[in-house]
Chain A
């Protein structure tokens, strides 16, 4: 609510970028350029997987980011629910991070099944990590649906924070139940020692640049969400004024 007074005095919307995020965006872009260069051209083929190994340079970073993103959603939700740190800002960070996480998780699933087709000969296998990932994807799509249910900002924040914590409960249960169900674990086709220096470096660039991209996306997205909330508040102010004229 305190946003209202500031927003009504400045009619032009503040941009979501700052000097910091612009630098961050440029850094992410440069990193992705490097990733393309190293991942597609400079790094060698794998002995077993041939050129298919290159998929890993985006698959592994996006998987890592999706998990990071959902972790951030869980922590921000807990921060919102905890009375002493209650602030709608946490809710917006949780929502932004979940959106970006769902995006990265989608990339993970698609790139992973393509890679699986090349190296295992099949798109899908029922191991714990894959299955948990798929469930996370669906669960956070559900979380985003709950965010859209409406009500006041506080109601939205509380409801979705509870949902996020329930998802945190659910994930290990799904993971272990699938793991016990199919104990035969897909051995990691690329063992750590077998990646040569240039391959490791490409993966490293992928991790760094995707992380930068994640931070950039979440900062912008959460600012957009904040602006959305401001628009709602502005709309309420206008509607209030109109309503008062009725009487």
Chain B
């Protein structure tokens, strides 16, 4: 089967696992919302919260990304399924794309909830003028995060000390997404008088990021998960 067919199969499988186990809904979403509440405790100022809301949303996304990626590969390694996938002759590029797709879908749900939490908890206001920018930011940034998460999650999957290795490897890499997505989101929300036109250059960076790691991951994933 070609890589794309495998990707669809793997993505459908991952989403079905999530649908049956509800780990994202029952555990990750409450965790992410809790992080948002903790930010409010730490910052303790309504104006500050509204000002930094875009950054906090993305920061909470990064933390949740770590959890979701760990889970995504724990499913594969728990009973030797990653080995079985390799013996099945499944193309690594297909596994990479499929798991990225499933991660993308899960992150999208997560971000919707986090944005809703920001509206409720941090008094963030959405503007009609910034909607296109906001949606584009989410698509571009989330795609990049999904690729990077799958790439480094796969590398750490078989390793000893994977729980600690993954954040060390992944957080420095996703820093550009944190900066770019936060600035673009600020522009879309009009935080501190920013206008949507301030945000579009950042979209370029986010798309470049997603493209580079998408291509890099597709090519390199096989050699990273191979024993």
Contacts and interface: CB of A to CB of B under 8 A. Distances in A.
Check whether chain A touches chain B (CB < 8 angstroms): yes
Interface of A: 135, 138-139, 141-142, 145-146, 149-151, 155, 158-159, 162-163, 165-166, 169-170, 173-174, 176-178, 180-181
Contact of A173 (B155, B160, B165, B208): B208
Contact of B179 (A139, A142, A177): A177
A145 B170 CA distance: 13
B58 to A, nearest CB: 13
Contact of B173 (A155, A159, A162, A170): A170
Given A150-B160, A159-B223, A169-B213, A181 B169 contact: no
Contacts of B175: 135, 174, 177
Contacts of B209: 173
Nearest to A158: B223
Interface in B196-227: 201-202, 205, 208-209, 212-213, 216, 220, 223-224, 226-227
Interface residues of B, number: 27
Contact of A177 (B151, B168, B205, B223): B205
B179 A159 contact: no
12 contacts: A135-B175, A138-B168, A146-B169, A151-B227, A159-B155, A166-B173, A169-B213, A170-B176, A174-B176, A176-B176, A180-B183, A180-B205
Interface of B: 151, 155, 159-160, 165, 168-169, 172-173, 175-176, 179-180, 183, 201-202, 205, 208-209, 212-213, 216, 220, 223-224, 226-227
A175 to B, nearest CB: 9
Contact of A170 (B165, B172, B202, B220): B172
Contacts of B202: 180
Given A174-B172, A177-B175, A162 B160 contact: no
Question: Which of A155, A162, A163, A165 has the largest count of B CB atoms less than 10 A from its CB?
Answer: A162
Given A169-B212, A173-B209, A162 B172 contact: no
A138 B167 CA distance: 11
Nearest to B152: A166
A171 B180 CA distance: 15
Question: Which of B159, B176, B212 has the largest count of A CB atoms less than 10 A from its CB?
Answer: B176
A155 B226 contact: yes
Contact of B172 (A135, A149, A158, A165): A135
Contacts of A135: 172, 175
Given A142-B169, A150-B160, A176-B205, A166 B176 contact: no
A149 B226 CA distance: 13
Contacts of B169: 142, 145-146, 163
Contacts of A173: 176, 205, 208-209, 212
Contacts of B208: 173
Given A173-B209, A181-B179, A149 B160 contact: yes
A222 to B, nearest CB: 22
Contact of A142 (B168, B220, B226): B168
Contacts of A177: 175-176, 179-180, 205
A96 B143 CA distance: 35
A155 B158 CA distance: 13
Given A173-B205, A180-B201, A162 B179 contact: no
Contact of A145 (B165, B213, B216): B165
Contact of A166 (B160, B165, B220): B220
A155 B159 CA distance: 13
Nearest to A181: B179
B83 to A, nearest CB: 15
A179 B217 CA distance: 26
6 smallest CB-CB distances across A and B, nearest first, come from A177-B176, A173-B176, A177-B179, A142-B169, A162-B220, A138-B172
B201 to A, nearest CB: 7
Contact of B168 (A145, A162, A165, A176): A145
B179 A141 contact: no
B168 A141 contact: yes
Contacts of A170: 172-173, 176
Contact of A162 (B159, B183, B223): B223
A177 B205 CA distance: 8
Nearest to B173: A170
B211 to A, nearest CB: 11
B163 to A, nearest CB: 13
